[in-house]
Structure 1
């Protein structure tokens, strides 16, 4: 492991993932897997009448970077809309590819050292990709319900 990439903050986050219990009857569930390293993140969500995430559950089977990203997502996801999560996902993708600024998400700058490791980007994006899709699907369930 490279010291700059797997720093103390990444490792701390990897051990502090909130919402590690799956929801018993989620409005939507999405699983994402990194083909490079096999990391996998499953996100369950419920949304309220305004389309904001009201409950989240996660199953994280990922490397330290995927775990840290899941921890950051979980720490600030409640109350966000599908559009906000999708915008963060897109900004994260652009930033990691060095074609945009860091997303406006608390703590995301911890992944700055990963910019030089493109093979690790997919695992960093997993939680945000799964949450964005799950939130959008849950909003549709709410609208149809």
Structure 2
């Protein structure tokens, strides 16, 4: 990977998101937890959450990922409280389409995901970017069961 490509991929905007990841850590007595790990790079995210009326009321995340995975977790964490499963799943699917199918960046509370557009060119990083989203959906499913 060329140095200019790396600089674009790890832009200041992405790095800024990595320094402000909301809801880091665990929560007391979660309704469910889920961990996802990328086999490509070893990045992992563990999500702990509590639901109220099908919406996320409490949220904690342990993020051990590259800058791209951290940035994605930061955007998720900034808007996750009060979200239902359908909203999280829709944003995750739009993020995946942005990365893999040249789709538009998600909008609304997840508009900051646009910072990850340069990652389209690096398919081996896509799994890390989706970790927090997949762990959140899995934890929601466990909590609802």
Of residues 59, 66, 81 in structure 2, which corresponds to 1:78?
81
User: What corresponds to 1:12 in structure 2?
Assistant: 16
Alignment pair present for 1:39 and 2:48: no
Distance 2:116 2:23 in 1: 21
Name the SS of the counterpart of 1:106 in structure 2: helix
Of residues 107, 113, 126 in structure 2, which corresponds to 1:108?
113
After superposition, the C-alpha distances for 1:73-132 in whole angstroms (9 at most, x for unaligned) are: 100100100111111112211221025332232311000111111111111110111111
Matches within 5 A, 1:56-75: 56-75=59-78
Segments ≥4 residues shifted beyond 2 Å: 99-104
Distance 1:61 1:21 in 2: 11
Q: Is the 8 A contact 1:92 1:102 kept in 2?
A: yes
Q: How many residues align?
A: 139
Of residues 118, 126, 129 in structure 1, which corresponds to 2:131?
126
Q: TM-score, normalised by structure 1?
A: 0.90
Name the SS of the counterpart of 1:79 in structure 2: coil
* Cα RMSD for the two superposed structures: 1.3
